[in-house]
Amino acid sequence: MPQPNTHRTGRARYGVSMLAAVALTAAGLTSLPASATAAPAGSGPTARYLVQLAEEPLATYTGGVPGIAATKPAEGAKLNRTSGNANAYRDHLRQQRKSVLDHVGVPAERTRVTMETAFNGFAADLTGPQAARLRATNGVRAVYESQKVHAATSHTPDYLGLTGKGGVWNKEFGGDSHAGEGVIIGVIDSGYWPESASFAPLPSPRPDQAVIDAKWKGTCDVGVEAPVTCNNKVIGARWYNDSGIAEAFPDDYSSPRDRNGHGTHTASTAAGIHGVRATSGTQDLGMISGMAPAARLAIYKALYDNGAGGATGTDIDIVHAIDDAVADGVDVINYSIGDDTERFGAVDATFFNAAAAGVFVAAAAGNSGPFANTVDNSTPWLTTVAASTTDRQNTRKLTLGDGTTIAGVGMGDTGVGPARLVFAKDSAINPDGAYGAGLCADDTLDPAKVKGAIVLCLRGEIPRTDKSIEVARAGGVGMVLYNDELNSLNADVQAVPTVHINEVDLATVTAYVAKGNATATISPSKLETVEAPAVAAFSSAGPSNLNAGELLKPDISAPGQDIVAAFSPSIGGNDFALESGTSMAAPHIAGIAALLLAKHPGWSPAAVRSALMTSAVDKTDKGNPIKIGTYDATPLNYGAGQVEPGSAFDPGLVYDSNQQDWIQYLCGVSADRGGDYGLGDLDGCDTIGAIDTAQLNYPSISLGRMVGKQSVTRTVTNVSDKTSTYSSSVQAPPGYQVTVTPKKLQIRPGKSARFTVEVTNTGGAFDTWADGSLTWRDQFKHAVRSPLVVRNSGLVAPDAITGKGTFGSVRIAAEVGYQGQLISQLSGLTSGTSNVVTLKGDGPSWDWSTSNNLPVPLPASISRTTLHVPAGTRSPLVQVTSERPTCSHIDWDDEEGVMECTEFSLNVYDKYGKFVTATASGRDGAKVTLPEGAGDYIVVVEQEFTENITDGANAYTVTSYLPGAPGTSTGRFTIDPKQRSVRPGATANLTVRWFGLAPGQRYLGVLEFRNGDGSLKTVPVTVQS
């Protein structure tokens, strides 16, 4: 759903020129004429903004400027930033940037940083009016207010089949010393600890040095505070503070040095030196290695330690880091970072351009699992990585005083007990502090209640290892860390002997403690071999809301629980640590992708992802379904399955896609649901074309809105050196029939073939996901498997209904996916209630997160009114229209630069001032839909600025539409039939009619489809009489 800052971060339309060559972004409002009067420099408070300009960056420029040829690299080649064309185009971009800044009167010193490689734009300190003017300036694509982001292996090389005589390193590269040669991995994170043994120099001379020298254009910026050093392992390092966020975290270093540890961990997992002995305190953690031990590393520090165990950054610094990484010549980027939203923004656009320039990006899926619809980093040019487990587990046993034994996990050679067993929540120093004590937060436990006891601490909110420190401080001798809901079990190095138990066993322990005089014993840790993989319960799950369940995300899983890797000793003093998260899973994929690119340097990012996905495994090492906790996992949790590197080097076939495919995908998203995700109002799609999300040529098939029958087409390319004949085999999802046409494909090396998959609902459970697979096999034992997931959504019907005239009708078709009744209910029609307000002058800068921050007295540029929504109202809507056109939707190429225009915004708050929703002015004004149900709201209309209006005054009509509210309906509004019997795959033809409307008005109504058990879909109805 749209975020509160929708109208501040560049909701508007896209230009055709951008569509034709580069990423579509959450674009800014388009142009004012170049001859328009420049705005004054402005006064008042400023904020940091990221401004994206309209023209293509170097990485994706395909020509068009007279005298300057394309700079986009050819397929399989690297960007050449020093060519004559690149230098000329860079000068051109600088001239365009200066023109934009001059036009809005922004002083040069307000510009913090400029970018030209994967992102064409700059970061600047701007007032609110300046930001608004930039959005509406010719040559500006988007203006984003700075947003925060956050940081989302001793055994894994063995477990994944990289080591040993028959392992990937030996088979493909002749040993670990050559695994990943010629490849550079960029890590955008919290920096690195340069003294770590995992980043020691590689033996010299390097056999791949000429290859590296030809592509590497970066630098080693050692920094100001605690400077770093680079070598032939870490060949480059940069650090960023364009956003100014570092000032909020003064304990971190003004250099690429890592205080937090997250970046050191991810970088060493991807490409740390082979054979490093890892220890934490007195605990021996074994020998560790990165996935691509001979690859080079480039470090881009864009996150800072936040003092609470996490690392925080901003999109401004992330975009700059991506831009530099592409310019520097990296082949792979690891992005173990998230923002907890699928709304399309500057980071997504910049990664689009990086991937279009041939850079593979591994991105963490997020740590908000196991809940559905939580997956992050879900665009199709990223490889989205879930977290799974390995077949080694450090186990401990908790033995209760009654003899009951519970299996858990934990690290440490020492046990403890028998000893008293107490709940931390019952052991608070402060009687009102039970909540914090239950979490074993700092200084919350009473030593008089805890001394000598084993303490039960609830997982969550603070780092797990901090909990045992608090137990030790209060005199406790052991800790039982417990989950109260489905989550992972983690074997951490703790301050006291600790066992971690799940939510099921918690009930047993709770019942025992309630009897009184409870005691327990914690056993020493034992390293055991267990069935694997399982999905880590914290790993974010699909379906992706951005993709409406029509593109399977995450793509793949990799080990991400209890991963041993290098760490920063800055805070805890340990050079190595066990860490868990999709942040730990992503660098496994980044490192393995580097191995594939070392072997196949001409493969595209999509081909690399395809090879990884189609060779992944979706069963455990014992042939059983993969689990998440005690439940069966699905591809919505693990994508295609857990990575199996050995099979990816010769996948047989790949599902490739490129920049043009991704643009058509974005056009499809825009037409279907783009307004909710920053992709509304895309211009140019009629020329370029659009595809449904499910039709993107992807190594998985996901049909999230299946009803009766649906077909998708895919293209596969033979990347082997043999002509092969492939035969298809299908494991159909339960309740569905799957037909593949043709069933056989004969494909020569380097050639492609197309096929169609038709899925028919034969009784699939309503509103339930079902999964299966499609596999192509040839005579050379290639097995190219794609997951196939289907959801019977129950109903496919129009997203909106429109009509004209004082009377009339519209015929609609609704396709259903269940057997039963289809019930149609109408509300409205209503012409709404309107009032006109006149606003004058430019809007001030103010904190619009609550209406309680409105300036006092209220300036003439802002209107504040109240709105009561009665019970019975359906889909209440507020619309604001302007007397004059919006500046952003004038075609200034056809104007003289003197047309009067305005830009405005609409904010809605509840009666207490809490933000509800907002939007910016568009072609047809501004409108927002309010929550269902009765309520009282504050409606704020703000005139951001005007152009060419002498007194700066403009009239606005504010209309509230309350369909179904008592006394608001006009005329007659009917549907036929109101109810009918349906069966799966059937189409119900319905007719909506209206009579007796007054001429020249706009009426709104609502059509709700129900199935007898609840609502299926709500469809807005608009009639222009």
Which residues are part of the catalytic machinery? 189, 262, 583
Residues 392, 510 contacting (CB under 8 angstroms)? no
Contacts 24+ apart (CB under 8 A), 467-472: 467/439, 467/440, 467/441, 468/440, 468/494, 468/495, 468/496, 468/498, 469/495, 470/440, 470/441, 470/442, 470/443, 470/444, 470/445, 471/424, 471/440, 471/445, 471/495, 471/496, 472/496
Residues 957, 976 contacting (CB under 8 angstroms)? no
Alpha-carbon distance of 827 to 140, in angstroms, equals 42
Total residue length of the chain: 1025
Write out the H or E segment, with its range, that includes residue 133: helix 128-135
* 3-class DSSP assignment, residue 893: helix
Alpha-carbon distance of 928 to 944, in angstroms, equals 18
Structure tokens at 36: 């328009």
Alpha-carbon distance of 912 to 761, in angstroms, equals 48
Direct distance between the N- and C-terminal alpha carbons of the chain, in angstroms, rounded to an integer: 32
Q: Give me the amino acid identity at 691.
A: I
| Neighbour tally for 727: CB within 10 Å | 14
Q: Is the dihedral of CA 958, 963, 969, 973 positive or negative?
A: positive
Structure tokens at 313: 């950054």
* 3-class DSSP assignment, residue 110: helix
Structure tokens at 868: 């009561």
* 3-class DSSP assignment, residue 880: strand
**DSSP per residue, 627-692:** EETTEE--HHHHTT-B--HHHHTS-SEE----HHHHHHHHHHHHHHHGGGGT--SBSSHHHH----
DSSP structural state of residue 211: H
* 3-class DSSP assignment, residue 695: helix
Unique residue bearing structure tokens 């830009």: 903
Alpha-carbon distance of 401 to 82, in angstroms, equals 73
Residues 235, 202 contacting (CB under 8 angstroms)? no
Residues 52, 124 contacting (CB under 8 angstroms)? no
The distance between the two most distant Cα atoms of the chain, rounded to a whole number of Å, is 88
Unique residue bearing structure tokens 């080693």: 220
Tell me how far the alpha carbon of residue 482 is from its chain's centroid.
29
Beta bridge partners of 999: none
Unique residue bearing structure tokens 């074993």: 440
**DSSP per residue, 162-181:** -SSTTSHHHHHHSSGGGTTT
Write out the H or E segment, with its range, that includes residue 591: helix 582-599
Phi, psi of 322 (to 5 degrees): -60, -45
Residues 340, 342, 343, 349, Cα dihedral to 10° = 110
**Cα atoms found within 13 Å of the Cα of residue 476, Cβ hemisphere only:** 33
Alpha-carbon distance of 467 to 454, in angstroms, equals 12
Write out the H or E segment, with its range, that includes residue 510: helix 503-514
| Neighbour tally for 707: CB within 10 Å | 24
Write out the H or E segment, with its range, that includes residue 17: helix 16-21
